[in-house]
Structure 1
Amino acid sequence: MFDLSGHTALVTGAGQNAGAGIARALAAQGAAVAVNDLVPERAETVSKEITASGGVAMAVPFDVTDLDAVRAATGRVAGELGRHVDILVHNAGIPADFGQAPFRELDPSRWRGPVEINLFGAMNCVSAVADGMCRGGWGRIVQISSGAARTGSDQGISLYGAAKSGVEGFIRHLSQEFAPFGVTANTLALGLQTNAAGAATEMFAAKIPVRRLGTPEDVGPAVVYLASEEAGWLTGQILNLNGGSVTS
């Protein structure tokens, strides 16, 4: 069950935290994994960890907001791993300038960062791999999102929340366009993770019903399921992985 042998996965933002957990979990189930990160050293480290554990991986550092770089990288993945990308996990979502501040205090020059990496980053990556998936008659698109997409907050994350809301809508529509071709598109919305920082983190963590933050080891298996053959009848959905902090 959940055997991903013969499939090639591209995981963006996979050089650390949840992205690294996703890459490791997919590789453990047999997928060949292209490990992306904006920082080459991080991508190389995770790729080497996977190969040292007996998996198949390669580092593909690029900026998801650069369409030409995305297309070049996916072409290199197909050439080196011998198969087109048929599992895409768009996890990259935190720009250098997160844009965290009350909206009234944000200079307009800071508005674009979260939108570029989350929404246009997803569009760039999907554009680069969708034709191969649809021609091949099989594919899995998994978008990593956040509860901030659907729950308001006074923590100065309006830009991030807006970007995640936008990409959730994008994935919802893709699911309908791609379904006839055997390609599913789903969103995994994460709650507060162990890499979160800030004075309020412990306060929020105490309010999570399971009484702990999420970890990369929580996220990886959930993505494995969404990427699997067994999840072929699940598409257009948003799954909340949040320790019960928001129920639906």
Structure 2
Amino acid sequence: MFDLSGRSALVTGAGQNAGAGIARALAAQGASVVVNDLVAERAKTVSDEITASGGRAVPIAFDVTDPDAVRDGVGQARAEFGRHIDILVHNAGIPADFGQGQFRTLDPARWRGPVEINLFGAMHCLSAVLDEMCEAGWGRIVQISSGSARTGSDLGLSLYGAAKSGVEGFIRHISQEVGPFGVTVNTLALGLQTNAAGDATAAIAARIPTRRLGTPEDVGAAVVYLASAEASWMTGQTLNLNGGSVTT
């Protein structure tokens, strides 16, 4: 069950945190994994870890906000693995300027960063892989999102939440367009993860029903299911992975 042998996967933003956990989990199930990151050294570190553990991985650094770079990276992956990308996990989502702050205090010049990486980044990546998935009659798209897409807060996340809300809507529509071709498209909305730090984080974690933050391993396991053959009837959905902090 959940065997991904013979499949190739591209995970964006996979050089650290949840993205690294996703790449490791997919490789452990037999997929050949492209470890993408904006920082080449991070991508190589995770790729080397996977290879040392007996998996197959290649580091390919590119910026998801650059459509030409995305297509070049996908082409490089095709050459490395000898096949098209079967599984895309668009995890990259936090730009250098996160745009955090109360909206009234934010210079408009800071508005674009979260939208470029989350919404346009997803568009660039999906555009680069969907044709070949549809032609092959099989494909998996997993978009990583956040609870902030649907739950408001006063933590200065309006730009990030707006970008995640936008990409969730995009994903729902794409699922309807490509479903007849054997391609599923889903969103995994994460709660607070272990890469966050600080007293406020500890206080929030204490209020989570499971009494802990999420881990890269938690995220990787959920993505493996969505990427598997067994998830062929799951599409157009947003799944919450948050330890019960928000229920639906």
> Structures share a fold, TM > 0.5?
yes
Partner of residue 19, structure 1: 19
C-alpha deviations, 1:1-51, integer Å up to 9, x for none?
A: 000001000000000000000000000000000000000000000000001
- Which blocks of at least 5 consecutive residues in structure 2 are unaligned? none
Partner of residue 63, structure 2: 63
Partner of residue 151, structure 2: 151
Instruction: Kindly indicate whether residue 44 of structure 2 is the aligned counterpart of residue 39 of structure 1.
Output: no
C-alpha deviations, 1:144-198, integer Å up to 9, x for none?
A: 0000000000000000000000000000000000000000000000000001134
User: How many angstroms apart in 2 are the aligned matches of 1:197 and 1:164?
Assistant: 22
| Aligned counterparts, 1:39-188, within 5 A | 39-188=39-188
Amino acid at match of 1:27: A
Query: Moved runs in structure 1, 4+ residues, more than 6 A?
Result: none
For the aligned residue pairs, the C-alpha RMSD in angstroms reads: 0.6
User: How many angstroms apart in 2 are the aligned matches of 1:207 and 1:65?
Assistant: 36
C-alpha deviations, 1:195-239, integer Å up to 9, x for none?
A: 113442111111100000000011101000000000000000000
Q: Name the TM-score, length of structure 1 as normaliser.
A: 0.99
Q: Name the TM-score, length of structure 2 as normaliser.
A: 0.99
Partner of residue 228, structure 2: 228
- Report the CA distance between 1:73 and its aligned residue: 0.4
Amino acid at match of 2:54: G
User: How many angstroms apart in 1 are the aligned matches of 2:116 and 2:199?
Assistant: 27
Q: Could you tell which deviates more after superposition, 156-165 or 197-206?
A: 197-206
User: How many angstroms apart in 2 are the aligned matches of 1:212 and 1:34?
Assistant: 30
User: How many angstroms apart in 2 are the aligned matches of 1:29 and 1:197?
Assistant: 31
Amino acid at match of 1:203: A
Residues 198 and 162 (structure 1), Cα distance of their counterparts in 2 relative to 1, 3 Å cut: farther
Partner of residue 238, structure 1: 238
User: How many angstroms apart in 2 are the aligned matches of 1:196 and 1:221?
Assistant: 20
User: How many angstroms apart in 2 are the aligned matches of 1:121 and 1:130?
Assistant: 14
Q: Could you tell which deviates more after superposition, 191-200 or 51-60?
A: 191-200
SS in 2 for 1:143: strand
User: How many angstroms apart in 2 are the aligned matches of 1:18 and 1:24?
Assistant: 10
**Aligned residue pair count:** 248
Partner of residue 247, structure 1: 247
User: How many angstroms apart in 1 are the aligned matches of 2:197 and 2:154?
Assistant: 16
- Which blocks of at least 5 consecutive residues in structure 1 are unaligned? none
Amino acid at match of 1:109: A
